[in-house]
Amino acid sequence: SPAQPISNRSLLEMDRDHLIHPVTSFRAHESRGATILQSGDGMWLTDIDGNRVLDAFAGLWCVNVGYGQESIVEAAVEQMRRLPYATGYFHFGSEPAIRLAEKLVSLTPEGLNHVFFTLGGSDAVDSAIRYITHYWNAVGQPSRKQFIALERGYHGSSTTGSGLTALANFHRNFDVPLKWQHHIPSPYGYRSDAADDAELIAQSVGHLKTKVAQLGNENVAAFFCEPIQGSGGVVVPPKGWLKAMRDCCTDLGILFVADEVITGFGRTGPLFACEAEGVSPDLMTLAKGLTAGYAPMGALMMSDKVYHGIADGASPDLAIGHGLTYSGHPVSAAIGLEVLRLYLDGGILANGQSVSAKFETGLAALSDHPLVGDTRGRGMLGAIELVADKASKARFAPELKLADRLFAAGYGNGVIFRAFADNIIGLAPALCCSDDEMEMIFARIRKTLDGLL
């Protein structure tokens, strides 16, 4: 039973024998074993061996308010006592879900006036795909069934979302993308041939127009993108890119979906990345920072246009058949409300905006390192791209398994970051990070890189 003490060794054996880990090689995990985390406070995590490490990745880009926020625990316990569950089916509702929906509408870009709650990002994306399909049928344009997304994009692991994702290991042996899912090149400045930002933006717009023309405009449903690509290696498009892509979708008459699962909730500076460019998408997906990892929850924000299209096209006698048992879960919603309070009234958003100057300086200072080809970031989201040769930007040979070594060395030096397969270090510290902790993060990363020389 969980109440009985258990040895670290038994835990490791039970993990190896029974627990399937996400995005992990089963065989590699059996031989390596798990790193089992025990507790967290602020920016720090402690594992079962007593190692205390600085988490520069906010769990999985989600614990934006840091660990151990007591007021969130209290909000959860209070709600669990009063009403642990209420379905949204059969016209039922609960106060936290309704209040969170209203709050999100007031904070997200104008026009996104309706919310469907999910359990995370993957089902928010999947819900977007389902509602978009429903929308085009409802408004009498049933030929619009082709979806376009970006290379290097990540839109989750659902059966349909994983095909919009464009990362090879999410496709290998899974038989996606599906035939109606298409990708255009990513606005990856460091590895593009564009002379400047304006050309990179023009190239992206050109790729989208060409793809839509190839598919036939009358067949295209929507374009999905992350305002800054996260799992694809933190690809930061130039300022103006998001607006240009939004405007292009408007001109083409296709829906524009912003996947702000990572970029939402202060990660890039403003509350939402769309805000920085005055962009209002037709749909927006949210998760992660919404509950800051304290409970699972995602949200699909829907514009009036899509909502009314679906509403008016459906018979009032027939239910629109999309739902989740835990949509609008009251405990997650109560947590979401408290997390939003901490961002806005608890000073965490403002702290993130202020410490991001140190984050930027820390990133830029690493560009002189012999292994570093590129550093990039916005707000509290960043990347350090390692190369075998700075001049040619050549990548390290995959056989070196540098990413695994990097991650292990970082952990040994007391810092957790993401080490992507193509040797890009991803960073997303919690927005509650102090200046001192930020300095510590970069000192430990430099030590880790020096150790690889």
Q: Interface residues with ligand PLP (CB under 6 A)?
A: 120-122, 125, 154-156, 226, 230-231, 259, 261-262, 287, 298
In the bound state, the residue with its beta carbon closest to ligand PLP is 121
Q: Which is nearer to ligand PLP, 95 or 422 (CB)?
A: 422
Nearer to ligand PLP, 120 or 352 (CB): 120
Minimum gap (Å) between residue 216 Cβ and ligand PLP = 28
218-229 as b/e, with b when 16 or more CB fall inside 10 Å? eebbbbbbbbbb
Beta strand segments in 282-349, E: 283-286, 298-303
Look at residues 269, 252, 250 and name the one whose alpha carbon lies nearest to residue 260. Answer: 269
Give residue 393's Cα distance to chain centre: 27
Q: Is 406 helix (H, G, I), strand (E, B) or coil?
A: helix
CB of 371 to ligand PLP, least distance (A): 26
As measured in angstroms, the least distance from the Cβ of 298 to ligand PLP is 6
**Selection from 107, 110, 149, 155 nearest residue 305 by Cα:** 110
Question: Least separation, in Å, of the C-beta of 260 and ligand PLP?
Answer: 8
And the tokens for 267? 């990660």
**The two three-digit tokens of residue 162, written as one number:** 């994983």
What are 220's two structure tokens? 């295209």
Residue length of the chain: 453
Q: Judged by CB, which is closer to ligand PLP: 45, or 234?
A: 234
Minimum distance from residue 60 beta carbon to ligand PLP (Å)? 6
- Least Cα distance to 120 among 161, 92, 150 occurs for 161
CB closer to ligand PLP out of 263 and 303: 263
CB 369 within 8 A of CB 423: no
Gap between the Cα atoms of 161 and 178, Å rounded? 10
95/151 with CB nearer ligand PLP? 151
| Shortest distance (Å) from residue 205 CB to ligand PLP | 21
Q: Please spell the DSSP secondary structure of 359-392, one letter per residue.
A: HHHHHHHGGGSTTEEEEEEETTEEEEEE-SBTTT
Q: Cα 366 to the chain's mean position, in Å?
A: 25
**Residue 378: is it exposed, middle or buried by C-beta count within 10 angstroms (0-12/13-18/19+)?**
buried
Minimum CB separation from ligand PLP for residue 61, in Å? 7
Nearer to ligand PLP, 60 or 314 (CB): 60
370, 453 contact by CB (below 8 A): yes
Q: Which is nearer to ligand PLP, 64 or 122 (CB)?
A: 122
Query: Quick check: 103 and 265 in contact, CB under 8 A?
Result: no
Q: How far is the CB of 153 from ligand PLP (least distance, A)?
A: 8
Q: 226 or 282, CB closer to ligand PLP? A: 226
Q: Under 8 Å CB-to-CB from 371, ≥6 apart: which residues?
A: 386, 387, 449, 452, 453
Nearer to ligand PLP, 76 or 381 (CB): 381
The helix or strand, by DSSP H or E, that contains position 224, with its residue range, turns out to be strand 220-225
Based on CB atoms, which residue is closest to ligand PLP, 109 or 309? 109
Which one, 333 or 449, has the nearer CB to ligand PLP? Answer: 333
Shortest distance (Å) from residue 161 CB to ligand PLP: 7
CB of 23 to ligand PLP, least distance (A): 10
Residue whose entry in the numeric block shows the structure tokens 């140190």: 358
Instruction: Put residue 69 in one of left, alpha, beta given phi > 0 → left and psi -120 to 50 → alpha.
Output: beta
Query: In whole angstroms, how close is the CB of 388 to ligand PLP at the nearest point?
Result: 28
